Structure 1
Amino acid sequence: MRSVLIAGPTASGKSALAMDFADSMGGIVINADSMQVYDTLEILTARPPKADTQRVEHHLYGFVPVRQSYSVGQWYRDVRGLLNDPQILERPRVFVGGTGLYFKALCGGLADMPDIPDAVRSHWRRALEQQGAAHLHEELRLRDPAIAGELDVNDSQRIVRALEVFEASGRSIRSFQQARGHALIDEAGARKIVLMPDRLELRARIERRFEAMMEQGAAEEVRRLLELDLPTNLPAMKAIGVREIAAYLAGTISLDEAVERACIATRQYAKRQLTWFRNQLDASWERRP
């Protein structure tokens, strides 16, 4: 068994389980969480502590500047390059994270979409804010009428995504969607585990973990992030806890209220993750509480 895949919602104990597997196999841990790729937010995104990274080799953590956007396609290509490294090629690897699309790409179920330059992404996000979804839907109809005909005029996110892809590549997003990706692992020989913890237990874990984050310096971490004066539409600025702690630092809410709001947001996110795993991961995945 050369590959172990461990998926699960936030605060479900994925990282500890990944450490156990990697340690026992003499393998490496590879990040499959879309927020843990960013630098600056080490505490708030619950990146593995230094004690773990010193004991077991970890990859794809904290290497993307927060001022950049990082896509599933970029992650796929970074993993492909990593697995082709002669130093890593024959080593057991444990993929761990809460981003379902990363696992889907890993197993070949997601098309390799083109990279979207930041300037293109910013242009269309700004156009959406200024002109609205209906206007952008008409723009899409002129460029890619087949896709526009399939999308509701109010489906702003998919409209913007289609425009971004068309401008970046000169091709319809459909041409990418129809091409199935190539699996990066031998899925038949991999062990696949998804953690599905009890709801009340997960709620308690979320609350304990966020309180620990605050004790470890999450507020100071957010302060450093805000000092960068980044656009609010960047993924790192949308990390759970950033908005809530920023409001506390601005003096508009109390610390207790910031913690409560962040825990609520985390619980809502965990619920969405569990729904996705339940609906998208087939019976080949071992369910664990």
Structure 2
Amino acid sequence: MSTPLLIVVGGPTASGKTSLALDLARHFRSEILSADSRQCYRELNIGTAKPTSAELQEIKHHFINTHSIQERYSAGQYGTDAFQVLLDRFQVHPVMILCGGSGLYIQALLKGFDDLPEVPATLRERLSDDFSEKGLSWLQAEVERRDPAFFARAEVQNPRRLLRALELLEVSGKAMADLRQQKARQLPFRVVSLGLNPGREVLAERIDHRTEHMVAAGLFEEARQVMQWRSHQALQTVGYEEPFGYFDGQWSKEEAIEKIKINTRQYAKRQMTWFRKYGEMQWISGSKAEALKAIEENIS
């Protein structure tokens, strides 16, 4: 292959992305870039379903355990850093694997991200407090009032995305469309994007099994260790908010576990919606043979 190839393995949580990415990395004798908004944090292991220590030793991974939860690492920063890593590693490997369920991170790498304004911590905390007090309906109404075009295509059930939009509206006074006018990144490599969709029932079973496995592996203990940083965006997510609620006395441990399962299924549904809107995925069930066939068809 004269032109390098990036194989994107995307899709919802628990769809088998890590397993397939490892199989492809072995097949092509390659490396993996993680496109996950939480796996870069060293302190978050169980709740982020990182590859095992053995898998990390066997296959070189990038953007796993690279930052501390005490830092903030944005999709824009990731897009810039990951693009440079790709260019460097393509000097060694003609094929690289990008694996993750954070669609925004994949987009930041492949499309480029605009230089968005910095949001002061005081503003972020104020809006977060407002959301905690007034709820999702207030947040939805506020974003719709101030940027109806963005709201019409946004993940309106995802408070993190809406809060981010509101932060940028407050700082810049501009609509999201006006902030995102940057020319698309030119890619010096080919891209084949594979989306994993094992089916709703299979996915639900995997989510329940994974949740039980995480709990047995010490998820609640991990959540207690990082609770002091609970205002960090990476911890305002499924798998950590539910144990925090248990520690706060809002519900029992059993209820927290059930909430993790329900919220993870809802998150997987939002991920599927995002990837379908993205429109560049070739959907497969997840087997290595199926993936290799799809790759061959796309590059031949």
* TM-score band, normalised by shorter chain: 0.7 to 0.9
TM-score relative to the length of structure 2: 0.77
Provide the residue aligned with 2:217 in structure 1.
216
Question: Residue in 1 aligned with 2:169?
Answer: 162
Contact 2:40 2:64 (8 Å CA) reproduced: yes
CA drift at 1:77: 1.1
Aligned mate of 1:267, from 265, 286, 290: 265
Contact 2:119 2:168 in 1 (8 A): no
- Cα displacement (A) at 1:22: 0.7
Where do residues 1-289 of structure 1 align in structure 2 (5 Å cutoff)? Answer: 2-85=5-88, 89-91=91-93, 92-108=95-111, 110-114=112-116, 116=118, 119=121, 122=124, 125=127, 157=163, 158-164=165-171, 166=172, 174-184=177-187, 186=189, 189-226=190-227, 229-230=228-229, 232=231, 234-282=232-280, 285-289=281-285
C-alpha distance in 2, partners of 1:8/1:133?
Answer: 27
CA displacement 1:143-187 (0-9 Å, x = unmatched): xxxx869678xx9643322233x29xxx8855541223314452x
Letter aligned with residue 242 of structure 1:
Y
Gaps of at least 5 residues in structure 1 are 141-146
Q: What amino acid is the match of 1:287?
A: W
Residues in 2 aligned to 1:128 and 1:246: alpha-carbon distance in whole angstroms: 19
- C-alpha distance in 2 between matches for 1:236 and 1:151: 23
Single out whichever of 250-259 and 264-273 deviates more from structure 2.
Answer: 250-259
- In 1, are the aligned partners of 2:46 and 2:217 still within 8 Å (CA)? yes
Name the SS of the counterpart of 2:33 in structure 1: strand
Percent identity (aligned): 29
* Runs of at least 5 residues in structure 2 that lack an aligned partner in the other structure: 157-161, 286-300
C-alpha distance in structure 2 between counterparts of 1:214 and 1:240, whole Å:
13
TM-score (norm 1): 0.79
Task: Please report how far the alpha carbon of residue 119 of structure 1 lies from its aligned counterpart in structure 2 after TM superposition.
Answer: 2.9
